[in-house]
Chains A and B, each alone.
Chain A
Amino acid sequence: MADLLAERVAAPPAPRHMADAMPDSPSPPVTPWAISLDRLTRRFARGNTLALDDVSVSVREGEVFGIVGRSGAGKSTLIRCVNLLERPDAGRVTVLGQDLLALDDAGLRAARRGIGMVFQHFNLHSRRTVAENVAFPLEVAGLPAAERRARVAEILPLVGLEGKRDAYPAQLSGGQKQRVGIARALASRPRILLCDEATSALDPETTREILALIRDLRAKLDLTVLLITHEMAVVKAICDRVAVMEAGRVIEHGPVFSVFTRPEHPTTRSFVAEVIGHGVPASTLARLPAPRPGERRRLAQVVFTGPNSTRAVVSEASRDFGLDINIVSGRVDDIAGEPFGVMALAAYGPDGAIDAAFGWMRDLGLTVTEIAP
């Protein structure tokens, strides 16, 4: 239940995890939901595992929503519920206002044509050329050959494959295969694109290219994108909002920037640490000077966000609180278009002065987390 309520208030600027404060009748969202998964439960007979345990996720029209989790977290089952490749045991699946579980076979097939899907292993027909692969959904929909050809000619340049139309998948690189997968998914002009670990089989460079392509196509074609991944870097690169899944439940979700800068759940923290680093390595700690007699040495990770992210916080703190501050590590990054800095520092001085300095930093809106020395 908590997931459901929390999701309903996920629309910005509402804060995350307000489940307790939410009334039962939420006001309608400003932007309509493109995808609304409501209290989905799915139990697999084999091993009697609960792949989805009362999961609710809603995706707004036009956004890129990421679901991140380790393997076995249930994210794959969840995304497959959006086009009912997997049928939930309980819950409601609404896509573009249509209740999919209420549709008959023909209705579901029609709905599926409005939802493009891209797969981790591309799932291309080995005996069809690039053009024939891209034309497949149009063939299935019963479009005449001339229209199919016209649409294929239109879409191949969008994914940068105009020169490969007569190649077979075996002649393409992984990145090119995924471009074919994307072109095929978008051939029937869907408004929704599902990406099932679309970059997990690709190298980092190709991953960047494919993510840039998806971002680009989202803007050009007014797509809503739901993607699942086990890589936080993918979320950071492309998503507007993110949900973190573990053991069949959504454990945390919200705008990517706030999840990155203020992760609450330990699992989320470890995901975030993959991208922004894990504090201070032990070898570096060992080399730090020891505190002078009567002084303390305390380490802290400071996350800079918002208007104070560019302020000379370290020199101000050093001067005003009479501390020696050693910057152990630091980096500036850009998450969802917002500047974001993370720094590990060692403060030397009396306990009281360090407390006061950290308090002052917190008042400025920085996140200060002390690291065990």
Chain B
Amino acid sequence: MSWLAPALQDLLVEALWDTALMVGASAAIAVIIGLPIALLLHATAPGGLAPNAWLNRPLGLVVNATRSTPFIILMVAIVPFTRLVAGTSIGTGAAIVPLALAATAFLARLFENALREVDPGVIEAARAMGATRMQIVAKVLVPEALPGLVAATTVALVSLVGFSAMAGAVGGGGLGDLGIRFGYQRFMPEVMATVVVILIVFVQALQSLGDWLVRRLSHR
């Protein structure tokens, strides 16, 4: 990267690290919180394992509301919440809070779709064999949906890379922020180009890893 000054090279490495941290941490949180929400949505849906419209509808509404709020607005709208959780509303750590929230809603929906793809016949067979609802979730639903869950996580990771570019608005740093501040505002096209190329490689690597995992996990 000799076309960039050493100081810029350091900034680039730091930005890459910030992006990886924001994407990784928020995705991890989103998987941990999103999966139970998806299971709850799936189970309480009509015809599910424990149909319950009183739980299903409000939960679905919250998920949809979060998903339909543009990320840049969501980020500033929840600043009080971010301050409560992260102790500050500025910086990489603070950016993870809104990223995780947006990703959780996004993933909950994608996970729910993956769960819905599980053959209802297999679930019925488990019921016929005397499985409890918890056994059906743990031994049938999640294992059978696993390739779909991994594919959904890959999609979410790629989307998070895009969202994280907006983290600059709250001082979150990262590659997108670097591209805006140097490439755009300081008229340094070589920085912008480098950032874009790194992001493309980054996303491509995530996608390939996800695809490989899905292939390994599914036996269809």
Contact residues, A84-139 vs B (CB, 8 A): 85, 108-113, 115, 117, 119, 121-128, 136-137, 139
- In Å, the complex CA distance between A139 and B126 comes to 11
Q: Please, which residue of chain B has its CB at the minimum distance from the CB of A111?
A: B130
Asked if A168 and B219 make an inter-chain contact with CB atoms under 8 angstroms apart, the answer reads yes
B193-220 CB contact bits vs A (8 Å, 1 = yes)? 0000000000000000000000001111
B125 contacts across to A, CB distance below 8 A: 117, 119, 123, 184
Indicate if B88 sits at the interface (CB-CB under 8 A): no
Q: Are the CB atoms of B128 and A140 closer together than 8 Å?
A: no
Q: Is A212 an interface residue (CB 8 A)?
A: no
Which residue of A has the minimal Cβ distance to B123? A123
Q: Given A119-B121, A170-B220, does the pair A112, B139 have CB atoms closer than 8 Å?
A: no
Do residues B122 and A125 form an inter-chain contact, with CB atoms below 8 A? yes
In the complex, chain B residues whose CB is within 8 Å of the CB of A327: none
Asked if B144 and A125 sit within 8 Å, CB to CB, the answer is yes
Contact A109 B132 (CB under 8 A): yes
Most buried by A among B126, B131, B144, B217: B131
Determine whether the beta carbon of B130 is less than 8 Å from that of A109: yes
The answer, yes or no, to whether B61 is at the interface (CB within 8 Å) is no
In the complex the two chains form, what is the Cα distance from A19 to B213 in whole Å?
64
Contacts of A184 in B (CB 8 A): 125, 129
Separation of A301 and B128 alpha carbons in the complex (Å): 46
User: For the complex, is A188 an interface residue (Cβ under 8 Å from B)?
Assistant: yes
User: Interface digits, A136-168 against B, CB 8 Å rule (1 contact, 0 not)?
Assistant: 110111000000000000000000000000001
Given known A109-B130, A109-B132, A125-B122, contact A170–B219 (CB-CB < 8 A)? yes
Residue among B135, B219, B220 with the most chain A CB within 10 A?
Answer: B219
Cα distance, A124 to B122, chains bound together (Å): 6
Q: Count of chain A residues with Cβ under 8 Å from any Cβ of B?
A: 30
The listed residue (A83, A111, A140) touching B131 by CB distance below 8 A is A140
Asked if A121 and B121 make an inter-chain contact with CB atoms under 8 angstroms apart, the answer reads: yes
Instruction: Name the residue of chain B whose CB is nearest to the CB of A140.
Output: B131
B129's contact among A108, A112, A122, A168, by CB below 8 Å, is which?
A112
Contact of A127 among B124, B129, B219 (CB under 8 A): B219
Nearest residue, chain A, Cβ from B122: A123
Give residues 113-157 of B contacting A (CB, 8 Å): 119, 121-122, 124-132, 135, 139-140, 143-144, 146-147
Complex contact B122–A140 (CB within 8 A): no
**Residue A74 is within 8 A (CB to CB) of chain B in the complex:** no
Bound-complex Cα distance A169 to B146 (A): 17
Chain A interface mostly? mixed
| A136 neighbours in B (Cβ, 8 Å) | 126, 129, 139
Q: Which residues of B contact A121 (CB under 8 A)?
A: 119, 121
Query: Shortest CB–CB separation between residue B150 and chain A, in angstroms?
Result: 12
Asked whether A125 and B130 contact (CB < 8 A) given A119-B121, A119-B125, A170-B219, the answer is no
Q: Is the CB of A141 within 8 A of B144?
A: no
What is the number of residues of chain B that contact chain A, defined by CB distance less than 8 Å? Answer: 23
Q: Which residue of A lies closest to B128 (CB)?
A: A117
Q: How far is the CA of A108 from the CA of B127 in the complex (A)?
A: 10
Once the chains bind, are A85 and B131 in contact (CB under 8 Å)?
no
> Are A127 and B218 within 8 A (Cβ)?
yes
- The answer, among B121, B131, B218, for a CB contact under 8 Å with A109, is B131
Partner of A137, one of B124, B130, B146: B130
The minimal Cβ–Cβ distance linking A360 to chain B, given in whole angstroms, is: 54
B135 touches A127 (CB 8 A): no
Contact A140/B129 with A125-B143, A125-B144 known, Cβ cut-off 8 Å: yes
| CB closest residue in chain B, given A167 | B219
Given contacts A121-B121, A123-B119, are A188 and B219 in contact (CB under 8 A)?
no
A109 and B126 CA atoms in complex are apart in Å by 10
Known: A109-B131, A140-B130, A140-B135. A126 touches B144 (CB 8 A): yes
- What are the residues of chain A within 8 A of B146 when measuring CB–CB? 127
Q: Which residues of B contact A141 (CB under 8 A)?
A: 130
Expressed in whole angstroms, the Cα–Cα distance for A112 and B217 within the complex equals: 31
Q: Are A115 and B139 in contact (CB under 8 A)?
A: no
Complex formed: what's the CA distance from A125 to B122 in Å? 6
Residues on B with C-beta less than 8 A from A127 are 143-144, 146-147, 217-219
In the assembled complex, which residues on chain B have CB atoms less than 8 Å from the CB atom of A169?
A: 219
Residues of A within 8 A of B (CB): 83, 85, 108-113, 115, 117, 119, 121-128, 136-137, 139-141, 168-170, 184, 188, 194
Q: List 24 A-B contacts (CB under 8 A).
A: A83-B128, A85-B127, A109-B131, A110-B130, A112-B129, A112-B130, A113-B129, A113-B130, A123-B119, A123-B122, A123-B125, A124-B122, A125-B122, A125-B140, A126-B119, A126-B122, A127-B147, A127-B219, A128-B143, A136-B139, A137-B129, A141-B130, A184-B125, A188-B129
Known interface pairs A109-B131, A112-B128, A115-B128; 4 further A-B residue pairs with C-beta atoms within 8 A, sorted by A's residue number: A119-B121, A126-B219, A127-B144, A137-B129
